[in-house]
Amino acid sequence: MEEITKEVVPLTEAFYEQPTLELAKALLGCLLVRESTEGMAAGYIVESEAYIGPEDRATHSFNNKRTARTEIMFHHSGLAYTYLMHTHCLFNVVSGGEEKPEAILIRALEPVYGIDLMRKRRGIEDLTKLTNGPGKLIKSLAITMGDYGCSMTKPPLYIAKGFCPESISAGKRIGIDNSGEARDYPWRFWVTNNKFVSRHQKSELVFFQNPPGRADSSLLPGGFIHLT
């Protein structure tokens, strides 16, 4: 454990300053780390969803709605945006920069460190069900509303480099059926074929980090290759 903490270094603010759709993909494979008195727990981010400001009907800050809940979204990138949903707390990373209320929901992790601690916090044994959902992963890492507004660039809650996914899938976001046209935006991203994602869904787009036999110029705007 001593050795692990030396190697795991928080990503700096510059990382969070990329456009939200880029950041949502860049976060895949990164290590989300939680330190606490109980010990360290961490997992690779394998699923994310982008929520993009005033124009996105599914976003809490749609129409620049600024309330006690959404306030942190108007602040600088790289802060934690936590909020309550039914009986669960959900965790987002603020993006977009000052006065641009955007955020990325972290929907699933692949458990890496502190797995026994995660099992204890969740009260279940099954590894594949430990962190395969936004409400499950915050319980595994003991993230709470107390983390609202904290910076992700330093302990006790931060994101560090992990692995580089070979392929990223994209599809519709989950659970926003009442969001009009926004419900169909392909702003959910996941590590292709990763078994820790929250839901299986048809991939509408696929992004290859290193497209086999293709130059970058063959990619569609946004770096996507259409499947259909």
Partner DNA sequence: AGCAAGATTAGCT
Partner DNA sequence: GCTAATCTTGCTA
- Please, where are the H alpha helices in 83-219? 115-122, 134-140
CB closer to DNA out of 51 and 207:
51
Distance CA 2, CA 8 (A): 11
Handedness of CA 29, 159, 162, 15 (dihedral sign): positive
Between 178 and 218, name the residue whose CB sits nearer to DNA: 178
Which residue of 117, 176, 182, 197 would you call a contact of DNA, by CB under 7 A?
176
Residue 215, CA atoms < 13 Å, CB-side half-sphere: 1
Question: From the list 3, 7, 37, 178, which residue makes contact with DNA (rule: CB under 7 A)?
Answer: 178
Residue 47 makes contact with DNA by CB under 7 A = no
Q: Report the nearest approach of DNA to the CB of residue 176 (Å).
A: 5
68 part of the interface to DNA, by CB under 7 A? yes
CB of 219 to DNA, least distance (A): 27
Residue tagged 């809940």 (tokens): 69
Q: Which is nearer to DNA, 8 or 190 (CB)?
A: 190
Footprint of DNA on 130-169 (CB under 7 A): 133-136
Task: Pick from 11, 23, 90, 205 the residue near DNA by CB under 7 A.
Answer: 90
Which H or E run contains 45? strand 39-52
Q: How many residues does the chain have?
A: 228
